[in-house]
Structures are given as C-alpha cells and as structure tokens.
Amino acid sequence: MSVEKQSELYSGKAKTVYKTDDPARLILHFRDDTSAFDGQKIEQFSRKGEINNKFNAFIMEKLAAAGIPTHFERLLSAQESLVKHLEMFPVECVVRNISTGSLCRRLGVQEGLDLEPPVFEFFLKNDALHDPMINEYHICTFGWASMEQVERMKEYTFKINDILKSLFLGAGLLLVDYKLEFGDYQGQVVLGDEFTLDGCRLWDVETREKLDKDRFRQGLGGVVEAYEEVARRLGTPL
C-alpha cells in the first residue's frame, strides 16, 4: 500500500517527521546531521542518515520478532521509514549496564563498572531544562503518563536490554547504555523514536573501543566508519 508524504510535522536534531495521507502513519526522515550537547555541536556526515535509517529498521524488526510492540512499519527509501503515529510520552528511558557518561558526572562513580542490577533512569524531554532526571512520581503527578504506562515502559526497556545485550555480544560488542522513547498507540504502550548508534553506547568487547556517538561527542573521528563497522558485524544490510 502506498502512502503520500504530506507537510512537515516536526524537525528534531537528526530526524524530520512528516504527516502522510493516513493520520495513523508518519514518515521519519533520517538526516545526515549529528548533534551533541543540547544542539551546541552540529555536523553533517555523508551517509549517516541512510546508515541510521537502515540500522534502526534492523533493530526494530529484531525487537518486534521478540514480542516488543514498535512503531516501525517499513523502509520507504534510503533515508525514510514509515511508522505508526504515536502520542509520545515526553520522557526518555535510559538503561545502563556499564557506568559512564552523565551517571559518572552526576554521582562521582568510577567509569567502566559493571552495573548489576542495571540502572534505570527517566529523564524529561525538555531541551530548555537540559532534560532533567525525573522519577515515576513526576511522570504521574504531572500527567506525562499513567503509572500503568510507566510500568509498561520499564518492563519493555528491560526486556529490550536482554534482547539487545545478547544480540550485540554475539557481534563482539558491549551494550553500555541506551535511551528509548515510547508513546501511546490506540491505548497500547509502543516503542517509538529510534534505536541507532546516536542513542546508545557500544564498546568493542576486547579493546573497549567506542563505536557510537561518543566518537562525535569526544571528537575521536571515524564516526561513520564506526557505525558501518557495527552494522557489518551485525550483518545489517546497508
């Protein structure tokens, strides 16, 4: 079934979202932009939009096959995918298997510790406030999602951790941490947004070399090359 792309609904830091002739469907366009530090550092990398679009499709299909409801429907072109139109909850769900990043900065804990059990954190999606950390009570009290929806987001986020930790380990990669976003679709909690190397940390299991957006954040170079290396190891068709 063909869909017709209509006006732009929203443009984020790395993706633009379009309406379609079907109100229940949107088109995600993965651009070549990469941003960090609340959009203060922005750069374009040729082929990155296409790699992220195809990598996201690959991961979303793996998650759907393992029983996670996702918004992903199908690839439309090199940089575009068709997705369900969710009512997004304005929260980010982060799971951490190894300590690094903002966890170490906030709590002063050592980098590189194995976290058992993994740490779960909620953040409010609000650039002006720099995405502050929040908990279940803030989410329910301010009506960003119900307690039932909160529980479902946590359940899916941890289930996704089990699925993806073993998928990546099979490719010689440690899933250090990642961020997910969910929304409501016809009364169900559904995984939205994306799972790409822009929103997770992956380290080589032997050398602990960073193969994710930290290469961009930290100016290490080889950003697209690292994304391609991860895709190659996983057998993602690019």
Q: Which is nearer to ligand C5P, 20 or 178 (CB)?
A: 178
Instruction: Output the CA torsion sign for 208, 211, 212, 218.
Output: positive
Q: Which residue is nearest to ligand C5P (CB)?
A: 101
Burial of 225 (0-12, 13-18, 19+ CB in 10 A): exposed
What is the three-class DSSP state of 158? helix
Please give the single-letter amino acid code of residue 108: G
We find the least distance from the C-beta atom of residue 12 to ligand C5P, in angstroms, to be 11
Tokens of 160: 């996704």
Q: Which is nearer to ligand C5P, 21 or 111 (CB)?
A: 111
Of the candidates 217, 219, 198, 220, the one whose C-alpha atom is nearest the C-alpha of residue 209 is 220
- Check binding of 179 to ligand C5P (CB under 6 A): yes
Q: Which is nearer to ligand C5P, 116 or 127 (CB)?
A: 127
Tokens of 144: 């960003």
Looking at 61-187, which runs of residues are DSSP E strands? Answer: 72-77, 80-84, 87-88, 91-98, 114-124, 133-134, 173-180, 182-185
| Subset of 99-138 contacting ligand C5P (CB under 6 A) | 101-103, 131
Only one of the segments 9-17, 39-47, 163-171, 177-185 lies at the binding site for ligand C5P (rule: CB under 6 A); that segment is 177-185
> What is d(CA 38, CA 215) in angstroms, rounded to the nearest whole number?
16
The 137-176 contact track toward ligand C5P, x by CB under 6 A, reads: ----------------------------------------
- Check binding of 200 to ligand C5P (CB under 6 A): yes
The 51-90 contact track toward ligand C5P, x by CB under 6 A, reads: ----------------------------------------
We find the least distance from the C-beta atom of residue 100 to ligand C5P, in angstroms, to be 6
Among 49, 183, 192, 199, binds ligand C5P (CB under 6 A): 199
We find the least distance from the C-beta atom of residue 90 to ligand C5P, in angstroms, to be 12
Phi, psi of 75 (to 5 degrees): -70, 140
Among 29, 85, 201, 215, binds ligand C5P (CB under 6 A): 201
- Check binding of 178 to ligand C5P (CB under 6 A): yes
Q: Which is nearer to ligand C5P, 25 or 165 (CB)?
A: 165
Ramachandran category for residue 187: left, alpha or beta (phi over 0 → left; psi -120 to 50 → alpha): left
> What is d(CA 99, CA 62) in angstroms, rounded to the nearest whole number?
26
> Cis peptide before 117, with omega less than 30 degrees from 0?
yes
Which residues bind to ligand C5P, rule: CB under 6 A?
Answer: 92, 94, 101-103, 131, 177-179, 199-201, 213
